[in-house]
A and B are shown apart, each in its own frame.
Chain A
Amino acid sequence: DTGVSQNPRHKITKRGQNVTFRCDPISEHNRLYWYRQTLGQGPEFLTYFQNEAQLEKSRLLSDRFSAERPKGSFSTLEIQRTEQGDSAMYLCASSLVTRGQGWETQYFGPGTRLLVL
């Protein structure tokens, strides 16, 4: 399978604990995005990377959230001191951006469903 993969698929944690999610993009994709999706809503943009550089962060990304893409391949999203409001599906997407291209398509992974008790 050469699609975007995410691990774990499900995570249950207690309030105040730290959690880390991993995303493996489609190989050779230079962009990687993180989104959050709450029940009954569409995904909301959190942050994105161009290769290893984190170029943009949404206001939704509080100081408790940190994302990395150390070698420009896989990425991790860590949430510190989780709160019940962090319960959501966390989606990762990747895309290949080339010069002169129009709007590139983002390909999504299956998501990590987080439940904070």
Chain B
Amino acid sequence: AQKITQTQPGMFVQEKEAVTLDCTYDTSDPSYGLFWYKQPSSGEMIFLIYQGSYDQQNATEGRYSLNFQKARKSANLVISASQLGDSAMYFCAMREAYNNNDMRFGAGTRLTVKP
């Protein structure tokens, strides 16, 4: 069964505007962690932000914030003030407590920032 779903294969955003990348997940484990990674064309996966299932507040890291809606099982990434260098693939991933060595990734969203 698909654990992580990213429904937007591609997204466009104007430079300096905000963009939301969607991620929904499926788990019956009450303890899990959600991660977002950026993958530029060079191939390296760059860690952006993390949210634990028991965290009370939404995670923020600079221009990145995670809109965590536990009841809806969604963990959307919000990028504020987009920059040209933000153009890349973005992957949502999850680790579950019962199987925490297996990080499951979604299929990714390709973000293109327009000047």
Q: Do residues B45 and A43 form an inter-chain contact, with CB atoms below 8 A?
A: yes
Pick the contact of B100: A40, A58, A103 (CB < 8 A). A103
Question: With A93-B45, A103-B100, A106-B47 given, is the CB distance from A42 to B107 under 8 Å?
Answer: yes
* Total number of residue pairs linking A and B with CB closer than 8 Å: 58
Q: Do residues B108 and A42 form an inter-chain contact, with CB atoms below 8 A?
A: yes
List residues 58-117 of chain A with CB under 8 A from any CB of chain B. Answer: 58, 89, 91, 93, 102-103, 105-111, 113
Q: How many residues of B contact A (CB 8 A)?
A: 24
Q: Does A48 contact B (CB under 8 A)?
A: yes
Q: Does A56 contact B (CB under 8 A)?
A: yes
Contact-residue size bin, chain A (C-beta under 8 Å from the other chain): 20 to 34
Chain A, Cβ-Cβ closest to B47: A105
Identify the B interface with A (CB < 8 A): 4, 33, 35, 37, 42-47, 50, 52, 91, 93, 95, 100-108
